[in-house]
Structure 1
Amino acid sequence: MPLAVTAYTATSALGLGLDAHLQALQQQRSGLRPNDFGPASLACWIGRVTAVESTSLPASHAQWDCRNNRLAWLGLNQDSFVARVHSAIHRHGTSRIAVLLGTSTASIGATEEGYRRLEDDCRLPADLYRPAIHNPHSLSAFVASVLDIHGPCQTISTACSSSAKVFACAERLIRLGVVDAAVVGGVDSLCDSVLYGFNALELVSPEPCRPFDAARRGISIGEAAGFALLERADALPEATQQLLGYGESSDAHHMSTPDPNGAGAELALRDVFERAGIAPAQVDYINLHGTASQKNDAMEAALVARLFPSSTRVSSTKGLTGHTLGAAGVIEAAIALLALREGFVPGNAGTRSPDPACTPHFAWRNEARPIRIALSHSFGFGGSNACLAFADTRR
C-alpha cells in the first residue's frame, strides 16, 4: 500500500536539516574529517556531527541523556519535524501513531563510558546509573517520550538495514489498521565499539572512503539521525512524495560478507518490484548501499548491471556522509527523496578511478534530470537486506 511521506529530516556530518544536506549534495562537499573521537583516536576518517557536543536535553528528559539521544534530539528539532508530528497527532490521536526506529548500537557509548569509570565496588558511576539508557530500546523510548506518542513503539536492530526496515514495518502496521501513521527513522552515534569493531574486521579505511573506486580501502564510519512521518496516501492526496513499497530478504551467507552473487540483495529487489508494482526500467535513480568495502561494492555493481537498463542512474553518497550504520537507511532515503524533489542525481562522491566492473549506470558527477521513481538500498551484516521505492507524484 503506498504511503504518503508527509515530513522528513536528516542530520549528519553534512549538517543539520534538509537544506544543509541539499547544499552539500549539490556542491559534492564531504563531511568526512580525520578521526578525533574517543580517548585514543583510531587513525581513520569519520563523519562526525560536531553540534552534538553543544546539545543538551531538557531537564524533563535528563534520565535519557547520552550521545545517541542528544543526536536524536538534535535531529528531531530540524525541518519543523516535531510540529508536523503534532499535526498528525491532532489528526489521528496519540495512540494511533507508531514510533519505529532503527539503530545498531543505541546508547552503548554511555555504557562504554560507565565501564571505563566503574566505582571501586564495580558499580556504574552515579551519573550513569540510569537503566533507561543501558539497553537497545533507549532510542525509541526516548523519542516516543519526547513526541508524547502512545502507540506501538519498536526498535529494529538489523545492522545497516535497521532504519530501512522500519519503513516496511510501518507499512504493515498501517495497512493492517493497527495505526494510522508512523514516525520512522534511525539514529547511530560514534562510539569505540563501532570504530574498533569494524577496524578489527579490517573494514575501516585509513583515508576518506571511496565507494566503487578501483583502489577503495574500506568504510568511513559516520553518525546521523533521520526521521520521517508516514501516513495513508489515500487520505492525503496533496502529499506529493510517497513510499511505493519495500523489499526485504535475509540471505545468511556470512556474518560480515554479502553473498558475492548478490542473491539476497536480488531477492529484496524483486520483492520491492512486486510490492510497488514497478519494473526495473521504471527506476530512474538508485541510492546504492555502496560502503567502499571490497566485497559489498563488487556485489552491488554486478547486481545493478544484471537487473537494470543503462538508463537507470546509480550512485553512493557515503563518500559524503560516511557509513552511518543503523541510521544509513533513513539518511539515504532522505537523500533519495531530495533527489526526487529537486530533480537531480547526486554524484558518486569520493571516487578517483572507477572500478572497471562499474557499468554506464554510474553517475560520477551530479546530473540534472527529472526523477519519478527512486530506490534506496540497505544491505546489512548477516545478510539482512532492505530496499525502498519512493515516487514523486508530480511527475
Structure 2
Amino acid sequence: MKRSAAPARRTAPGIAVTGIGLVTPGGIGTEASWRAVCAGRPAAALDPALPPSDTGVTCRVPGFDGEALLGGRKAHRLDRFTQFALVAATEAVADAGLDPASWDGARVAVVLGCADGGPETVEAQHQVLLRHGPARVSPLLLPMQLPNMLAGQTSIELGATGPNLVVATACASGATAIGIARDLLLLDRCDIALAGGSEAMITPLVMAGFAQMGALSRCAGDPARASRPFDIDRDGFVAGEGSGVLVLERARDARARGARAHALLAGHALSADAHHMTSPHPEGAGAEAALRTALADAGAGPQDVRHVNAHGTSTRLNDLVEAQVLCRVLPHAPLVTSTKGVTGHLLGAAGAVEAAFTVLSVEHSLVPPTAGLATLDPKIHINAATASVPLDIPLAVSNSFGFGGQNAVLAFAAT
C-alpha cells in the first residue's frame, strides 16, 4: 500500500472540553451513560416497534419522554432526533457552567452531525399521505425531518446566533462536527461551540434497508450478545439511537472564566477512502491517513497514544480493517475498547457519543470494557479491554468511519 508521509508535527492552541451532554441507550444524562458503559451492560433488546424478525434487535434510549423533558407543545413539533439533541445540549451547557441568558449569542456556534434526519416523521407522514391524501399531511413534515433543523432548533432553544450547521458524513458525522467546531474556534469565528451529533433512525424502513444489506446482527435469540465488537462470532451491528454534545472553548478562555476542562481536544483529521460506497478500503488507507494526521495535528507521535476508542461496529470487515490499521500505526498496542458493545451503533451520533466517552476515560483514568467480546478474532491483534481498566491516559484517540469512505479521528489529551 502506498502511504503518504505524516504531516510535520505542530502544536495548535488548546481547545478545552468544558461541557458534556449525553442521551444514550445506557441512560439519559452523562452519569447514567458513563456508568452503563463502564459496567459493560449491553442495552440491546428485541424491539417491539419493529416487525418480528431475526434482525429486530436494537439499542433504544430507555425511558425517554420528550414531553416530560421538553414540554408537550415543543416535543410535538420536534422529531425524536432533535429532541435527543436538545436534551443533550442543555445538559452540556449546564455542565460547562454557562448561562445562555447572559452569553453573547453571536459568538456561540452550533455544529452538529447526523446521517439521516427524521425518518420517523417521514415514514409516519407517508402513511398519512397514502391513507388520507395530501391535504392531511402535516405542515410540520419538513421542519421536523430536515437534517439542518438539528442545529437550527438547538440555536433557537439556546439563543446561539453564531455559525450554525449540520454535517453529514454517515457514521462519522458526530466526530466530523466536533472537528469542524474546533477549527471554527481556532479561526476565531466563535468563542464557544456546541458540537456533537444526534440520531433516531430506528424505523421499519431504515432497519429493513440495513437488513437487506446484510449489515445487522442476526443474533435475536440472545440480544445481549448481538453487538460483539472484534469477537470471532460477530455478525453485524446493532442499531442504536441517541445524542452526544460537547461544549468546546479555547483553553485560555475557559481558564479566564474559571471553568473546569474535562480534557483537551488536541487534534483531529478527516479523510476519504475514495474506494466503495459501503465497504472500507481493504487496507484501511483512509482510516490510517486520518489517524496519522490527527496525531500530527496534536503534536504527538504514535507512541503517545495510551487508549483508543475504536469505531468497532461488530461487523466482519470493519473490525478487521480497523484492527490492522491500529497495529500498523500504534504497534505498542494501546488499550482498545468499543463502547458499541453497550450502546450499539448510534450511526450519525456514534462519533459524538464515543468522543464523550473518550473524554471521560481521559478525565477519570478509566477505560470501559468492550461488552460482548468473549473470544477475540484470531485475525485481530489488538489489546482489547474486556473489563474496566484503571489507566493513566495522557492521550487518547476516537475513531469514526462512515459509508462512502468518510473517516474522522479525534485526539484528546489530559489537562
Indicate the residue corresponding to 2:306 in structure 1.
284
From 347, 366, 371, the equivalent of 2:393 is 371
Where do residues 1-150 of structure 1 align in structure 2 (5 Å cutoff)?
1=12, 2-38=14-50, 43-53=55-65, 55=67, 57-58=70-71, 61=74, 64-78=77-91, 81-84=92-95, 87=98, 89=100, 93-118=104-129, 122-123=133-134, 125-127=136-138, 129-150=140-161
From 252, 271, 274, the equivalent of 1:252 is 274
- In the TM superposition, what is the alpha-carbon distance from 1:152 to its structure 2 partner? 1.1
Alpha-carbon separation, structure 2, partners of 1:151 and 1:320: 35
What is the identity, as a one-letter code, of the residue corresponding to 1:35? Answer: D
- Give the 3-state SS of the residue equivalent to 1:117 in structure 2: helix
TM normalised by structure 1 equals 0.93
From 365, 375, 381, the equivalent of 1:359 is 381
What is the identity, as a one-letter code, of the residue corresponding to 1:216? Answer: R
What is the identity, as a one-letter code, of the residue corresponding to 2:405? Answer: G
Indicate the residue corresponding to 1:168 in structure 2.
179
What is the identity, as a one-letter code, of the residue corresponding to 1:143? Answer: T
Alpha-carbon separation, structure 2, partners of 1:119 and 1:204: 29
Indicate the residue corresponding to 1:224 in structure 2.
242
**Is 2:66–2:72's contact at 8 Å kept on the other side of the alignment?**
no
- Give the 3-state SS of the residue equivalent to 2:98 in structure 1: helix
- In the TM superposition, what is the alpha-carbon distance from 1:130 to its structure 2 partner? 4.0
- In the TM superposition, what is the alpha-carbon distance from 1:132 to its structure 2 partner? 1.0
Extract unaligned runs of 5+ from structure 1: none
- Give the 3-state SS of the residue equivalent to 1:10 in structure 2: strand
Alpha-carbon separation, structure 2, partners of 1:127 and 1:90: 33
Alignment deviations for residues 28-52 of structure 1 (CA, whole Å, 9 cap, x no partner):
1111111222466763321101323
Alpha-carbon separation, structure 1, partners of 2:140 and 2:382: 55
Indicate the residue corresponding to 2:413 in structure 1.
391
Percentage of matched positions with identical amino acids: 34
Indicate the residue corresponding to 1:265 in structure 2.
287
- 9-18 or 42-51: bigger deviation: 42-51
Alpha-carbon separation, structure 2, partners of 1:260 and 1:209: 22
- 353-362 or 147-156: bigger deviation: 353-362
Indicate the residue corresponding to 1:308 in structure 2.
330
- Give the 3-state SS of the residue equivalent to 1:332 in structure 2: helix
- In the TM superposition, what is the alpha-carbon distance from 1:196 to its structure 2 partner? 1.5
- 16-25 or 126-135: bigger deviation: 126-135
Q: Cα RMSD between the aligned structures?
A: 2.1
- Give the 3-state SS of the residue equivalent to 2:197 in structure 1: strand
Alpha-carbon separation, structure 2, partners of 1:138 and 1:166: 15
- 259-268 or 237-246: bigger deviation: 237-246
Does the C-alpha gap of structure 1 residues 12 and 303 become closer, same or farther in structure 2, counting only changes over 3 Å? same
**Is 1:250–1:264's contact at 8 Å kept on the other side of the alignment?**
yes
Does the C-alpha gap of structure 1 residues 31 and 124 become closer, same or farther in structure 2, counting only changes over 3 Å? farther
- In the TM superposition, what is the alpha-carbon distance from 1:139 to its structure 2 partner? 1.2
Alpha-carbon separation, structure 2, partners of 1:192 and 1:120: 18
**Is 1:107–1:139's contact at 8 Å kept on the other side of the alignment?**
no
**Is 2:114–2:199's contact at 8 Å kept on the other side of the alignment?**
yes
Alignment deviations for residues 76-129 of structure 1 (CA, whole Å, 9 cap, x no partner):
344xx3435672657751011111000011112101110012166731635464
Alpha-carbon separation, structure 2, partners of 1:72 and 1:42: 30
- Give the 3-state SS of the residue equivalent to 1:50 in structure 2: coil
- Give the 3-state SS of the residue equivalent to 1:87 in structure 2: coil
What is the identity, as a one-letter code, of the residue corresponding to 1:219? Answer: F
Indicate the residue corresponding to 2:164 in structure 1.
153
Alignment deviations for residues 217-273 of structure 1 (CA, whole Å, 9 cap, x no partner):
000000011111000112223535110010110112100000010100011011101
- Find out whether 1:348 has 2:370 as its counterpart: yes
- 4-13 or 237-246: bigger deviation: 237-246
**Is 1:55–1:74's contact at 8 Å kept on the other side of the alignment?**
no
What is the identity, as a one-letter code, of the residue corresponding to 2:286? Answer: G
Indicate the residue corresponding to 1:234 in structure 2.
252
**Is 1:329–1:378's contact at 8 Å kept on the other side of the alignment?**
yes
- In the TM superposition, what is the alpha-carbon distance from 1:26 to its structure 2 partner? 2.5
What is the identity, as a one-letter code, of the residue corresponding to 2:208? Answer: Y
TM normalised by structure 2 equals 0.88
